[in-house]
Every structure is written in C-alpha cells, then in structure tokens.
Amino acid sequence: MRIKEHPILSFSKGRKVQFTFDGKAYEGYEGEPIAAALHAAGVMVLGHSHDKQRPRGFYCAIGNCSSCLMVVNNEPNVRTCTEPLKEGMVVETQKGKGDLR
Amino acid sequence: MNKTASVVIIGGGISGASIAYNLAKKGVKDIIVVEKKFLTSGSTGRCGAGIRMQWGTEMNCRLSKFSTEFYETANEVLEYEGDIEFKQGGYLIVAATEKEDEQFKKNVALQNSLGIPTVYLTPKEAKKIIPHMDETKIISATFCQKDGHLNPFHTTQAFANAAERLGVKFMKYTEVTGIKVENGKVVGVQTDKGFISTPVVVNAAGGYSKQIGEMAGVDIPVYAERHQILVTEPVNQMQDPMYMGFALNVYIQQTPHGSFIMGRSGENEPRDLRITSSWDFTEKMAKDACTLLPMLKDLRVVRQWAGLYTMSPDRQPIYSKAGNVEGFYMSTGFSGHGFMLGPVTGVVMSEMILGEKPSLPIEKLGLDRFEKGELLFEPSVV
Amino acid sequence: MRTTEIAIIGGGPAGLRAAISAASMGAKVTIIERNENLGGQLVKQTHMFFGSQKQYASTRGIDIAEILLKDLDKYKDRIEIMTNATVLSIFEDGVISIEQDDKYLKIKPQSVIVTTGASEKFLAFPNNDLPGIYGAGAVQTLMNVHGVAPGRSVVMVGAGNIGLIVSYQLMQAGIEVKAILDASPRIGGYLVHASKIRRMGIPILTSHTVKYAHGTDKLQKVTICQLDEKFQQIPGTERDIETDVLCISVGLSPLTELLWQAGCNMKYIPELGGHVPVRDKDLQTSIKGVYVAGDVAGVEEASSAMVEGRLAGLCAAKALGHATADFEELHNDCIEQLNSLRSGHVGEKIRKGLEQVAM
Amino acid sequence: MLEKTGVATEQDLARVTPSKERRAKGPVAVIECFQRIPCNPCQTACKTGAIKEFKDINDTPEIDHDACTGCGLCVSSCPGLSIVVVDETYSEEEALVKIPYEFLPLPEAGSFVTGLDREGKPVCRAKVVKVLNTKSMDRTPVVSLAVPKDMSMTVRFIKLNDYFSDNTIVCRCEELTMGELRELIRKGYNTVDEIKRISRAGMGPCQGRTCRQLIMQEIAAATGTKMADLTVSTYRPPVKPVKLGTIAGGEHGE
C-alpha cells in the first residue's frame, strides 16, 4: 500500500516503470528499492531461507541483514531493500543460495 | 595451581589435538594440551582446509596419502557426533608455464607409483571438470579425485573430543610463559595459570613455535609468515574440485556450504606475528579469480582474513626431538600444510615420543637435516 | 592513489557538521556516504528537534538536513562529496577502500573522522524472522522515504524515543498503532513524546514484552505478556494482539566495525549503546588521526551528534596545521554546548558513560 | 480433587510413582490410571508380566516396577493415554520421557519443544529425541523427550511452539537457533569466535550484524559473564559484501 497523503511529507517519485516478479507483471517507481515496490504491491514474502525454509520479508531496509536476497536480472543474492528499481527488471524468488549464471 | 603431567602439548590446533589423541590411544595418561586461546584459534582455524595428495616429493605424497585415507573414515573412527564435512571433490592443479608442465608430468608419474590416482589433462579436458574456467590461461592440468576439503573446526574438535574421552585435559585460555630445563632435560612448563611439571613437552604451537623453542633454548629455523584468504557469500554448488595453480599463485574452492574460499601468497607479507589485512591481497585475489574463473565476478566477498604459515627452509615439516634438550619434541614448519597433515602428524609424533618404530620414514624430517644440509625441497606449493 | 586531507566516513548530521567545520578552517575534505543522499537519518525525521537554537531546535529533522546541505555548499571548492559510496575497510596502512556504484576505489587520507552512526539492536523471541517484523528504522525508511505503508496495523516494541516517535509517525501515515510495549517499568523516551501518543488513545504497556509471534507466511498476531521487576515473564498474563506488523525499537548500537579494523582501543559501555572507542577531549581515538563523532562514539541525540561533528572537524583540521585565530573560542563553544545538552537528569546516563571512555 | 480438575494430586501420584531407586536403574513405565474402568490393553501389551493380571477388567493396573523393562509397548496401547516411560539414566543431566502424542504435525526429532505439566503449564524446554510411529502403534506415535532430570515426573505433554524460544532464529544467514546456540554454549564454546567457527553464525552475508549481539547476550546470560568482559570477535574487511568483479575492475596499486 502506498501512503497517499501525509501531513508532513510529500513524496517525489520517479517515473512509473514495469517489472516482473516471479513471472507476474508489477508496477513501481523508478529508483525506489525493489522491496519497497513489492511491498507497495502487497508482496511481503520475498523468499524462503535456504535451510529451514522459513518465509523471509525485508527487515532492516538499509542493506545490513540478509533477509531480502533475491535474484534480479539473473544475478543472485541482490539486496532488494536497497537495490533501485529499473524499467523491465526481472525479479525472482531465490532458490537456495542462488546460482551464478 | 600447580599440576603434573606426563606430556604437555603446546598448541590446540589440529597438530596438538591429533598428537594428544594418538598418545592417549596408545595408553599414555595425564596428557595436558595448553592452548593460549581456544581450539583452532590459530592457524588451523584460519586455513583454507584443503587436503591433497598431489605433491612433488615422495615424502609429502606419502604423508598426505596417509592423512587422506584417515580422513575418509575419521567421523567413524573418532566417533564424532558432528560432521567433519570431508568433501572429496578433487584438486585440479593447473600448469601455466612450460616448466610447470614438465614438473607436473614428473609429479604424476611419482604419484601414480605411490598409488595416488592422479591423471594428466589437457586444458580442454580440465574444462570439463570446472566448466566455468578460462582454459586459455593454462597449458595443462593434473587432477586427483581423492583430494578434497574439510571443515577445520569440526575436524579439530573431533580429535579433541576423542582425546578428552581418553582422559586428555585441554587447558584453554592458558598461555605458556616459559619452559623449565634442568641438566639438559625438560622438567616443566610455566603458564599464566600455574606451573606444570612434566618430563615431555611437544611444541605444536604453529606460528609461535619458534618462540616456544626459544623458551627451551632450542633454535628452530622457522619463521611465521602472514597469508591472506577471503570468503564469499554462499551460492548453490557449481564447482566440485579445488582449483589451484603454483605459477599462477592461487587456490579457489567452493565449500560444501556453498561459499568460495580463495587465497594466494603475497609478495611482501610481514614475517612476524601480525595477522592484519591488506588491500593489496584483496585486489590481486579478485583480479586472479575473475581472470581464471570469470563467472565468479558476480560473487560477493563477505570477509577477508589472515593467518600464519610456519615456514621451514625446505617447506617441509619438522618432526623432531631437540638435539640439545631431552624431552623436547616439535612438530612444526608445515609451511601452510599443517592442517592436511594433522592425522599423520599425530601418529608419527606419538611413535617418536614413545620410542616406537615409525610408520613412515620420517627420520629425514628431523631438525638435524638443516645442519647437515640435507634439505628436501618441495616444488609444488602456493 | 587518491588522497585527501580529511576523509569523513558518513554523511549524516555528525559527518556533515564535521565537514563544514573542517572546511571552514581551510582543510580539504572528502565525505563518503553510502546512501544516494546526504543527511543520514535526518531525512526520515519528520518531528521537531529538542535542544537549543544552536542545534536547530524546533526545526524538523528533514529540514535540518537541508540547512546543513546549504552550509556545505559554501565550501564546495574544498569539499568533495562521494555518495552511493560504501567504505569497505580501513587497512593496516590507513588506506580506505570504497565501493561506489559497483566500482572499487581507494583513498589515502591524512586523517579520518568516523561518523558511521549506529544500527538497530535486535530482539530474540520465537518467530522473530517472520515477514512483517521490522526494525523501527526500516519502517521509517519505508514510509517516510519511499511512501509505502508497512502494513495495516502495528505493535511497537520499545518506548524509548525512537519507538515513541515512529509510533507517532505511523499514525501520521494513517497506520493504526495498537500498542507500545516496553520491558522496563518506566517509559524510556521523553514524556512529551509519550503524552502525544497517549492523547491519541494508544496504550503504552510498560513491564510488557512480546513473547511470541504467530503467522504461517507472514505475521498475523503477537502474544504479549507482563514482566515482573526482574524482567521475568509472569505466567498467565499472556494475551494476543492481531497485527500484521511488529516494529522493533529496542535501542541502537554504535556501528564500529571500521574503528575495530583501524585498531582503536574500544570499551564496552552499556550507557553508550555498546562498544565505543576511547577518545580524548578533541574526539581523537587511540589511533592518531582517527577521530569520531556522533552515534558511533556513543548513542545520543542528533543535536549532540552535530556538535560533536563540529568539534571533531575543528580539531582534525587544526592537527593538520589549519589554525584560525578563533580556534580556542570555537572549541570552547562546542564543549559548552555539549555540556549543556548533556546536563540535567536525561543526560545523566550519557555523562556516566563518557566518564569511562575519556582518554 | 482429581474428579474436579482432571489433574492428579500428589497423593494420587504417590501410589503409582516408581521408587527413586528403581528410577535410577533405568527405564520404567509410569501408569497414571486412577479410576476403575473396564479396560486392560496395557496388561495385554506387557510382554514381561510386569503389569499383573487383572482379576476384574475394571481393576486399575498394578505394575511390578522391578519387573518392568521400560520397553514402552504399553504406552501406545493405553486408550486413556495415561502411561509414560521415564528413563532417568538417559544422561547425566537429562531424563527421557516417552509420551503418546496423537496430533499433527508431529514434532521433528532434534527439535526443541515446550514441556507441559499435568495442567498444561509450560515447565521446561524439551528436546525431541525420537518420534516412533510404527504400524503396530496404530496412529498413537510415541515421542521421546529429553528433559531436565528433575522434570521426569512433571513433564507429561508438549507444545510444539517453543515457549522457551529454543526455536528462535539467532542467525538468519546460517539459521542457527537459540536452542542450537545454547547447546554449543553448554558444550563449552563460550566466546563469539568459537561459536562462529563451529556453527558459521556470523560468517554469512550479513557479516554478523544480526546475530553477534544476540550471541553475546546469550553467552553472557549462560555463563554469568558481564558483556564488557566477553571477548569480541575480530572485525575484518569488507564492511559490505562486494563483488569480486567490482574489486577486480577497480583502482589498483599505490
């Protein structure tokens, strides 16, 4: 969910861009973190831990922890809480520890 | 608090733990291992933890073959409740110069004669084993499937736990401050936690073994040299064997856990006990990795660290008693290969201390070889 | 290799203030900031600051950032700004390695001022890794920087200033705060912040903690319970609150990795948030040429971070030979400001902590 | 009282509890069946004759604890689920309690659960040692629990949610749980460095940022050491994971 109005802040957004998450089309704003765009679209589960298969959402939002690792444009282990969204990005849930491709 | 022991082993790394285990197994009571910090806190816990049988001298081939065969059943033999994580993914050792290629041909013949199943490969054949390598960077390669990698912490712990069950005492966070010698004989070890009376001291102190030798008045011709290493984020399995080159000065492997561990020797590494980090290593290592295994360029470095190699003049171990001090033994000078030789170290040192016939002809590895000038130079090292 | 006189690691309130004061003395400065924008955590702070006018009291954090950037602009010929640039290491020889926009570079400064701030502490309870359980800072970033709501409703853990402020900000963004819990029997944050929250009808449950988080794929509810005076859970006091977000705000710890790498003498001071460097009155650590300011030197308010930044900037510049006639006066002014910010009841803890790290 | 609350009283239990001496010898069945009802499968299941023959099918079972081998065949045979096997020789500090458990999901061997007393109150942490679920047990699996020795006559049920938070994740990258951490500390790994080396906690992509402080807290709590006195693990470059390719393509040399 996006915050539509705010008593203090006004949000300057980049242009609208399209991206895919696990094959489905999504929309977000250019330059915002991938995880923020997913969160705005209601996607809170970004993956599952590789051993115990526990669901993982983003946690720290500043690239410190390892909760939000996803595959972006074929690259594994991308910290989506800080990685800026770009037009046409292919975002996927990471399987296990990720494959170098 | 003062104590008495039959044997005091200085150093709680793989060597100390293995020697303690082997002595206890042969029935020796009252063994104490003194460790300055915790088990594996020195070189063992900082090493790349590979094990290979591909060497250029008969001695090293035999020592490492003995160790490899032990590691194959170590979980069971040591009745370890964890897993030492022995992965026999092989070592692919690459030749980058004509001279190296020539040496490798000799090495393979030597290794095969000793029952080590190494094969000689063309670059194309090598690429089949590590598909993401740039095969144009090499002339040839040798491969032995039985070589591999272990988890150094669990491996040491496995020896230590087995030793403890046999009655060995480990004194952690205890620093040796002196060794008492009377009439040319060892009589005890002074520590910051008290004095231990003992007729036998085994120096397995790795990077600190020169200093420990000095405490007993024994001059050991070794020096500690910093070596650096780095580890990446884990990724799904993609590389089974260790990739190693001597002329290329590099080793790169993927652990069963998924992370890559890689290291190289620095040109101007300090020869003291410093284990700080340098940018020079980071950069050269990254460059080498990306050149030789280009796919690794997207792999992220999580941590770099350093440890000490205990260098001997001929880069071979020193298994010896001191000529001038009775009861003082040493197992040192591994020059970067002490971890993989852990099992054989324990066996031959325990035999030496108990005056038994050695299982392997290690008499050539004594301290006196340096005085006699009978060095056994090992050509195949990073 | 690139060089500079003073490298400032971190472009938050302390770092910016350090850069301005060092440059005003005539030093050549490089600010290295890991985010795209300067200002650090100020850019999330929609509330008005305390302190005195000298520390921009009654101005909102977001606006203080703007003011600092304007001041910075006055010395732009002497200040190099690197954004999207993360310092990776301080090596044995003082060389700093940096990743900037996927590029690797190095810089060798004569002095360095570390103003890396602090990171949030974590809390252990069953299922604490469920999606929907976030650090307070993460929630602030998500809603105040990116304009995205973390969820529908929130239970906040921690009634310190950050917990109280973020709760208020959540309400501002139209998100229901169901309760604020704090393990301690007393509210840790400023009481005015607390009154603000209470006025809106949000309960602040002191001597309470989160015992359990429930949910299959993401957070659905939390079980909370009461604590006795020894912080032990009182059986039978459990109750459930349905919520899709649990926000953790149980304090900050200084981000000191680089100081450890540099070999600074560190001490564990709980009053200051954890391990902090020992430092002299000029904010120089035990390693010559390595200065600190702000939360990395001990967790405090942004107001004192800015004064510390100014002090460190002045002293680092002076040590490199950039003396101005009014140095003593400026130096004393900083010390006086810090003393006044730390005086009184609220500053007692800080004073106690600082006594133990003075060199 | 039992009639009112469904909870056996101390007097009730005194009648069926094996002697301390017997319990110290090895596994033994504890039959907490106090009401006369027409039922005797326990007696039928008993292969050693420890459960004496019933004169009347309504008799409450009588067991010769000295003849009982603690085989546990009676446990899953009891329709009232009133039998457990207690083994106080399991280890120095722990006793094994085998309980019937007819719920899904079944606990996993190796996991930690909350041990509940007869009133369903959490009393301790229990480690699931084994889950036995053979065809002959006919859907009454038997769960073996390792519990603190003094809890052997207290723990009678479990909750899979671990109130004692042993399942709590301490290290996200390597998924080390609090239970595993406590186990390591108990084994004597009591510095962050040792924990790191043996479990990999702190070696993951977050470089210890999430777990380091939690591990230190737990070590401090478990060993009674002050945080300030704990040895800190070393900090090494880089501060942030960085691609090999980025370093390789960067500015090099002096």
% of chain C residues with pLDDT over 70: 98
CB < 8 Å to A64, chain D: 206, 209-210
Say whether C99 and D237 touch across the interface (CB within 8 A): no
Inside any domain, residue D225? yes
Say whether A32 and C130 touch across the interface (CB within 8 A): no
| Residue ranges of domains in chain C | 2-119+252-355, 122-248
| Residue ranges of domains in chain B | 3-46+153-222+314-372, 88-146+223-311
CB < 8 Å to D238, chain B: 282, 301-304
CATH topology of domain C2-119+252-355: FAD/NAD(P)-binding domain (3.50.50)
pLDDT tens sequence across C191-203? 878 887 887 778 8
| Gap between the Cα atoms of C117 and C278, Å rounded | 16
How long is chain C?
359
pLDDT at site C275: 95
Comparing CA positions, the residue from C139, D164, C158 lying closest to residue A58 is: C139
Comparing CA positions, the residue from B161, B193, B164, B199 lying closest to residue B177 is: B193
Chains A, B: CB contacts within 8 A come to 26
Inside any domain, residue D92? yes
Task: Write out the residues of chain D at the interface with chain C, using a CB-CB cutoff of 8 A.
Answer: 121-122, 161-163, 165, 167-170, 172, 178, 209-210, 213-214, 217-218, 227-228, 230, 232, 234-240, 242-243, 246-251, 253-254
- Check whether D1 has a pLDDT greater than 60: no
CA distance to partner chain B, nearest, from residue C118 (Å): 20
Give A 42-81 residues with CB within 8 A of chain C: 44-46, 49, 54-62, 64, 67, 81
| Gap between the Cα atoms of B138 and B152, Å rounded | 30
| Gap between the Cα atoms of C353 and C27, Å rounded | 31
CA distance to partner chain D, nearest, from residue A52 (Å): 7
pLDDT at site B341: 97
CA distance to partner chain D, nearest, from residue B145 (Å): 27
CA B246 from chain centre, in angstroms, equals 17
C100 touches chain D (CB under 8 A): no
- Check whether D153 has a pLDDT greater than 90: yes
Q: Hey, which residues does A16 pair with through a beta bridge? A: A29
- Check whether C14 has a pLDDT greater than 80: yes
Say whether A62 and C137 touch across the interface (CB within 8 A): yes
pLDDT at site B374: 84
CB < 8 Å to A75, chain B: 298
CB < 8 Å to D169, chain A: 52, 54
| Gap between the Cα atoms of C98 and D239, Å rounded | 10
| Gap between the Cα atoms of D202 and D215, Å rounded | 9
D202 touches chain B (CB under 8 A): no
- Decide: B35 and B11 in contact? Cβ < 8 Å: yes
Give the other-Cβ count within 10 Å of C345's Cβ: 6
CA B275 from chain centre, in angstroms, equals 17
pLDDT tens sequence across B172-193? 999 999 999 999 999 999 999 9
- Check whether D253 has a pLDDT greater than 90: no
Say whether B236 and A77 touch across the interface (CB within 8 A): no
CA distance to partner chain A, nearest, from residue D100 (Å): 26
Written as tens digits, the pLDDT of chain B (382 aa) is 679 999 999 999 999 999 999 999 999 999 999 999 999 999 999 999 999 999 999 999 999 999 999 999 999 999 998 899 999 999 999 999 999 999 999 999 999 999 999 999 999 999 999 999 999 999 999 999 999 999 999 999 999 999 999 999 999 999 999 999 999 999 999 999 999 999 999 999 999 999 999 999 999 999 999 999 999 999 999 999 999 999 999 999 999 889 999 999 998 899 999 999 999 999 999 999 999 999 999 999 999 999 999 999 999 999 999 999 999 999 999 999 999 999 999 999 999 999 999 999 999 999 999 989 888 888 888 7
Question: Could you tell me the domains of chain A?
Answer: 16-92 (3.10.20.440)
pLDDT at site C313: 98
**Disruptive mutation site among C86, C87, C88, C264 for chain D (greatest number of D CBs within 10 Å):** C88
Say whether A7 and C172 touch across the interface (CB within 8 A): yes
User: Please, what is the average pLDDT of chain A?
Assistant: 91
Say whether D172 and A66 touch across the interface (CB within 8 A): yes
pLDDT at site A65: 81
CATH topology of domain C122-248: FAD/NAD(P)-binding domain (3.50.50)
- Number of domains present in the structure of chain D: 2
pLDDT at site D76: 86
Say whether B301 and D234 touch across the interface (CB within 8 A): no
CA distance to partner chain C, nearest, from residue D241 (Å): 8
Inside any domain, residue D251? no
pLDDT tens sequence across C270-297? 999 999 999 999 999 999 999 999 999 9
Strand C2-9 to strand C29-32: parallel, antiparallel, or no bridges (unpaired)? parallel
CA distance to partner chain A, nearest, from residue D90 (Å): 29
CB < 8 Å to B301, chain D: 238, 241-244, 247
CB < 8 Å to B270, chain C: none
Residues 6+ apart with CB under 8 A from C61: C41, C42, C43, C44, C45, C46, C47, C49, C302
Last residue of a domain, one of D130, D159, D188: D159
Asked if D61 and D139 sit in the same domain, the reply is yes
**Disruptive mutation site among B228, B278, B279, B290 for chain C (greatest number of C CBs within 10 Å):** B279
Q: Hey, which residues does C111 pair with through a beta bridge? A: C6
Per-residue 3-state assignment (H helix, E strand, C coil) for B193-251: CEEEECCCEEECCHHHHHHHHHHCCCCCCCEEEEEEEEEECCCCCCCCCEEEECCCCEE
CA distance to partner chain C, nearest, from residue B153 (Å): 24
**Disruptive mutation site among B282, B292, B298, B305 for chain D (greatest number of D CBs within 10 Å):** B282
Task: Please tell me whether residue B286 adopts helix, strand or coil conformation.
Answer: helix
* DSSP percent split of chain A into helix, strand, coil, nearest 5: 5, 30, 60
Residue of B50 and C174 predicted with greater confidence: B50
Residues 6+ apart with CB under 8 A from D51: D29, D31, D42, D43, D45, D61, D62, D63, D68, D74
pLDDT mean over D218-242 = 83
List the single residue in D227, D232, D242 with the smallest CB-CB distance to C104: D242
CA distance to partner chain D, nearest, from residue B46 (Å): 10
List the single residue in D234, D241, D249 with the smallest CB-CB distance to B300: D241
pLDDT at site D2: 59
List the single residue in A3, A13, A81 with the smallest CB-CB distance to C174: A3
CB < 8 Å to B282, chain C: 89, 97
CB < 8 Å to C174, chain A: 3, 5
CA distance to partner chain C, nearest, from residue D203 (Å): 15
Q: Hey, which residues does B252 pair with through a beta bridge? A: B243, B262
Q: Which domain holds residue D178?
A: 169-229
Residue B98's H or E segment, with its range, is helix B98-113
Say whether C92 and B278 touch across the interface (CB within 8 A): yes
Question: Which subunits count as partners of chain C given 3+ CB pairs below 8 Å?
Answer: A, B, D
B190 touches chain C (CB under 8 A): no
Q: What is the amino acid identity at position B270?
A: P
Q: Hey, which residues does D114 pair with through a beta bridge? A: D125, D159
Residues 6+ apart with CB under 8 A from C292: C113, C114, C115, C259, C277, C279, C283, C285, C308, C312
pLDDT at site D163: 52
Name the pLDDT band for D5 (thresholds 50, 70, 90).
Answer: low
| Gap between the Cα atoms of B84 and B68, Å rounded | 13
CB < 8 Å to B230, chain C: none
Say whether A56 and C46 touch across the interface (CB within 8 A): no
Strand B223-232 to strand B260-264: parallel, antiparallel, or no bridges (unpaired)? antiparallel
| Gap between the Cα atoms of B295 and C14, Å rounded | 41
pLDDT tens sequence across D52-94? 988 877 788 999 999 999 999 899 888 778 899 999 999 888 8
| Gap between the Cα atoms of C314 and C333, Å rounded | 12
Last residue of a domain, one of D141, D159, D177: D159
CA distance to partner chain A, nearest, from residue B138 (Å): 23
User: Please, what is the average pLDDT of chain C?
Assistant: 92
pLDDT tens sequence across D167-190? 788 888 888 998 899 899 988 898
CATH topology of domain B3-46+153-222+314-372: FAD/NAD(P)-binding domain (3.50.50)
List the single residue in C87, C104, C257 with the smallest CB-CB distance to D249: C104
CB < 8 Å to B275, chain C: none
Say whether D197 and B40 touch across the interface (CB within 8 A): yes
**Disruptive mutation site among B231, B232, B233, B236 for chain A (greatest number of A CBs within 10 Å):** B236
Q: Hey, which residues does C109 pair with through a beta bridge? A: C4
Asked if D27 and D121 sit in the same domain, the reply is yes
User: Looking at residue D206, which CATH number applies to its domain?
Assistant: 1.10.10.1100
pLDDT tens sequence across C213-272? 999 999 999 999 999 988 889 989 999 999 999 999 999 999 999 999 999 999 999 999
pLDDT at site D135: 77
What letter does residue C233 receive in the DSSP assignment?
A: B
pLDDT mean over C77-101 = 95
- For domain B88-146+223-311, which CATH number applies: 3.30.70.20, 3.30.9.10, 3.30.70.360, 3.40.50.150? 3.30.9.10
CA distance to partner chain B, nearest, from residue D209 (Å): 12
CB < 8 Å to B298, chain A: 75-76, 100
Chains B, C: CB contacts within 8 A come to 19
Say whether C129 and D169 touch across the interface (CB within 8 A): yes
| Topology match between the domains C2-119+252-355 and C122-248 | yes
Q: What angle is formed at CA C278 by the lines to CA C273 and CA C284, rounded to 5 degrees? A: 120
Name the pLDDT band for D4 (thresholds 50, 70, 90).
Answer: low
